[in-house]
Amino acid sequence: MSTSLPHQPAWKRLLPPVTLGLATVVMLADQATKGWVLATLEHGERVAVTGFFNLVLTYNRGVAFGLLASDYWWKPYLLVGIALLIVGGLLLWLRSQAQLLPRLATGLIVGGAVGNVIDRFRQPGVVDFLDFHLNGYHWPAFNLADCAIVIGVGLLLLDGLFTPASKR
């Protein structure tokens, strides 16, 4: 069931304002924090913030957790293409969603994906800087865009698991 009205502009049916707004906020916050890190730290520099959290400037040339990292000239374009296909698919799916939660979740995912896509064109890779470790275990560095994507996917999963189909 869609809440789209026939007289709405096409862009509002494809990308509801709440989704566009949240995606824009996430992308801007992501780029601002990455800009601050790039201006403050040298590549590989590690600044201890707490006993379990550091700031470190690193570039992820692959996908999640550095998988598929390589220096092939075409790989950033392939990864950008895949990210944009996923974003496009989500936006098409979103047209059928009337509830607020999927719209917010999609805004988080789209904003995060766009933030990371921008890095692939402007930097040697996606800028990662949040570095957590505990008792000898070290989580790969990540960024705000990654956080938004994970939260958005989690919200979509919760919505799919706990929202009755009749309300979606």
pTM: 0.81
Does the annotation count 146 as an active-site position?
yes
Does the annotation count 128 as an active-site position?
yes
Query: What is the reported pLDDT for 81?
Result: 83
Given 30, 119, 131, 146, which residue is catalytic?
A: 146
CB atoms within 10 A of CB 64: 12
Mean pLDDT in order along the chain per 10 residues (168 residues): 54 75 97 98 95 95 57 66 85 84 95 93 92 92 96 95 76
Query: What is the reported pLDDT for 62?
Result: 67
C-alpha 10/C-alpha 112 separation (Å) is: 23
User: Could you state, in order of their start, the residue ranges of all structural domains in the chain?
Assistant: 27-133+146-167
